[in-house]
Amino acid sequence: MSKKKQHGRTRAQESSNAIERMYITMRHLFNRGFYKPMGVSGETLRESLLLLRPEIYGSIAEEKAELDGLLYVMDRLPLGIEECSYINLTSDEGYADSHFKPIIPPKRRRNCYRIDEEQMNIEITRGRSEIYDILTHLTFLFIESHKISKRVLIDDSGNTTRDWVKLERAVFSSTKLTQQEREVAITHMANILGRTFNEVTSVYKSFAIEGQSERLLHIVYWLGKLAIEEVINDKKRT
């Protein structure tokens, strides 16, 4: 047998095993009712996803951030989810009759509710397949967020790189960014993501929505911030 065929078979076996591990883990999570990304089950999902490297998640297994995969996922999850440490998957609990305004992702019709600044509830209406879909997307976001934290944390005390400080300043700017300020912020963000200026600018507008033209800056910042909180302050996402 040629080395090429042997490698292909080995790769297929690894993928098959990874799929089986993901299925078993997700079934366990479904029965248990909660998911901790930093727990044993979360680690299994991360390892399996990194091994499988689904096409929709692009360069997930590389050190550089995956921008197309990030856009794909953010289009299917509720606006603002990158800011939330607590994500609950629920049945219809009657929020439609409350003051909470439903958040519907642009490319996946599901009702989601921002309960407070830390918590997002996602209503599940299509059973286990929908739960598996969401858990996979959340695992992708978790992996990408820790890529960011690894590139910006200087030490165990929480000191960060100059690029991160500049990104944070742009995110919390009290005035609308000028074109020059935007390009400066994108330059620092590109360094954080391990991407070129051109790679980031080419997708920048794709993330923008009405009222949030600088949305990609905010997504990257909050993903990184929550990962930093986990590493430095042991504030785990659940």
What is the pLDDT of the chain when averaged over all its residues?
A: 90
Q: What is the per-residue pLDDT across 34-51, written as a single tens digit (0 to 9) for each?
A: 667 767 777 888 888 888
- Containing H/E element for 157? none
Residues 6+ apart with CB under 8 A from 86: 118, 119, 120, 237, 238
Compute how many other C-beta atoms are within 10 angstroms of the C-beta atom of residue 207. Answer: 20
| Torsion, Cα of 186, 233, 235, 63 (10° steps) | 40
Comparing 7-11, 58-62, 167-171, 233-237, the range with the smallest average pLDDT is 7-11
Closest CA relative to residue 186, chosen from 67, 75, 32: 67
Spatial distance between the Cα atoms of 60 and 65, rounded to a whole number of angstroms: 7
* Structure-block tokens of residue 12: 């297929």
Task: Report the pLDDT value the prediction gives residue 129, as an integer from 0 to 100.
Answer: 84
DSSP 95: G
Could you tell me the pLDDT band of residue 24, with boundaries at 50, 70 and 90? confident
| CA angle (166, 79, 217) in 5-degree steps | 15
Residue 87 β-bridge partners: 120
Could you tell me the pLDDT band of residue 2, with boundaries at 50, 70 and 90? low
Spatial distance between the Cα atoms of 124 and 6, rounded to a whole number of angstroms: 42
Spans of all domains in the chain: 3-233
Task: Report the pLDDT value the prediction gives residue 44, as an integer from 0 to 100.
Answer: 83
Q: What is the per-residue pLDDT across 106-162, written as a single tens digit (0 to 9) for each?
A: 999 899 999 999 999 999 888 888 888 998 999 999 999 999 999 999 998 999 999
| Residue 238 pLDDT > 80 | no
* Amino acid present at 55: E
Sign of CA dihedral 139, 144, 149, 151: positive
Is the separation of the CB atoms in 125 and 110 below 8 Å?
A: yes
| Residue 1 pLDDT > 90 | no
Could you tell me the pLDDT band of residue 27, with boundaries at 50, 70 and 90? confident
Closest CA relative to residue 74, chosen from 149, 134, 28: 134
